[in-house]
Amino acid sequence: MNIVAIESSCDETSAAVLANGRILSNVIATQLIHEQYGGVVPELASRAHQQHILPVVARALSDANIAKTDLSAVAFTRGPGLLGSLLVGASFAKALALGLNIPLIEVNHMQAHVLAHFIDERKPAFPFLCLTVSGGHTQLVRVDSPLVMEVIGQTQDDAVGEAFDKSAKLLGLPYPGGPLIDKYAKEGNPLAFRFPVGEMPELNFSFSGIKTAILYFLRDHTRTNPDFIQQHLPDICASIQHTLIQMLLTKLKRAVRETDIREIAIAGGVSANSGLRTALMQLGEEQGWNVYIPRFEYCTDNAAMIAMAAQFKYEQGEFTAQDVSPLPRMSF
């Protein structure tokens, strides 16, 4: 069984080939155009997907050494994501499946982040909890089987990736700032500064308050010392990162208490954060959890995870009709 998968939900055009359960290729074209605007510009993202999609898919097939006539199915991200971006991947996938007369498989991008854990050898056992943290989402997911999962807690406003990126922007760092906060935080003291965090009920999160707290903190300090940010960048980054990580781990601990599940996974772009990875591994050891952290290349957006999710659907015979359209706000 050979599946080609296409991911185009935001600003990464990616294609991957999965053959008999193994990922043979995973090609990602990152759109650098957005950096100068300080965030993803949807119209530009859509146009860049149009430019990248054909060469990216061709490269994924050639890297995998698979001819298009040997494909068994075409998978694509139906949502959630930016409509103009999703449309490019969906249209391409539909045309390819129609042309080759093979089945089409729609994939939910957030479920695919969770299922990225099945690409490598060490896999979580069911049921497991997955903290999915990306630029658009922050979710605690209870996963009962590959295709049965439920969101048991989520952010009520900004995603944690957005909190990283917006904090970085306030510090004058380029987009996307999450990885840069991670980089500078390595040199800083996580307890140098404290930021107030609000309480959210149950297993829900809120990250809009911290952004405002950081804004006021920087405004107050730069008023008396205009060089405050340059002088204290590592400590500021380490403190912001520490605060965000603690907010995530507090709810994760609560989710474990409430569900009594000790198989713990993280997924999504923010799971590439080295501070989060280390803190989660330490917490897991303390608490006796089995912790699963994806390889770096499967944390941020990629088509390998779409192919993995599609394989589970293929096995269940869950195919998609040609009249499908993207769902920017697709839920589970």
User: Which residues are annotated as part of the binding site?
Assistant: 109, 113, 132-136, 165, 178, 182, 273, 301
Tokens of 42: 């949807």
CA distances to 133, 170, 218, 312 from 236, rounded to whole Å, are 21, 11, 9, 43
- Reference 56, options 81, 93, 87, 82; nearest CA is 93
Nearer to Zn ion, 188 or 268 (CB): 268
- Which residues contribute to the annotated binding site for Fe cation? 109, 113, 301
**Using CB distances below 5 to 8 A depending on partner kind, what does residue 13 bind out of Zn ion, ligand KG4, none?**
none
In the complex with ligand KG4, which residue's Cβ is closer, 124 or 161? 161
- The residue (of 79 and 161) whose beta carbon lies closer to ligand KG4 is 161
328 lies in the site for ligand KG4, by CB under 6 A: no
Q: Are 276 and 141 in contact (CB under 8 A)?
A: no
- Out of 97, 272, 291, 310, the only residue in the binding site for ligand KG4 (CB under 6 A) is 272
Type of residue at 173: L
C-alpha span between 155 and 50 (Å, rounded): 32
**Which residue has its beta carbon closest to ligand KG4?**
269
Q: How far apart are CB 237 and Zn ion at their closest, in Å?
A: 23
Give the residue numbers of the binding site for substrate.
Answer: 132-136, 165, 178, 182, 273
The interface partner of residue 165, options being ligand KG4, Zn ion, none and the CB cut-off 5 to 8 Å by kind, is: ligand KG4
In angstroms, the Cα distances linking 140 to 108, 134, 157, 270 are 16, 12, 15, 14
Nearer to Zn ion by Cβ, of 106 and 301: the residue is 301
**Interface pick for Zn ion out of 159, 301, 304, 320 (rule CB under 5 A):** 301
Torsional class of 260: left (φ above 0), alpha (ψ -120 to 50), beta (otherwise): left
Is 134 a residue that touches Zn ion (CB under 5 A)? yes
Kindly tell me which of 103 and 326 has the beta carbon lying closer to ligand KG4.
Answer: 326
Q: Restricting to residues 78-137, which ones interact with ligand KG4 according to CB under 6 A? A: 134-136
- Structure tokens that stand for 2 in this block: 């050979």
Q: Whole-number minimum distance, CB 66 to ligand KG4, in Å? A: 26
Residue 290 token pair: 């089995």
> Residue 9 Cβ, how far from ligand KG4 at the closest point, in Å?
6
Task: Give yes or no for residue 167 binding ligand KG4 (CB under 6 A).
Answer: no
Shortest distance, position 204 Cβ to ligand KG4, whole Å: 19
What contacts 233, CB < 8 A, 6 or more positions away? 171, 184, 188
Contacting residues for 121 by C-beta, under 8 A, at least 6 apart: none
3-state helix, strand, coil in the chain (%, to 5): 50, 20, 30
Q: Which residues bind Zn ion (CB under 5 A)?
A: 134, 301
Q: Which residues bind ligand KG4 (CB under 6 A)?
A: 10, 134-136, 161, 164-165, 176, 178-179, 182, 268-270, 272-273, 300-301
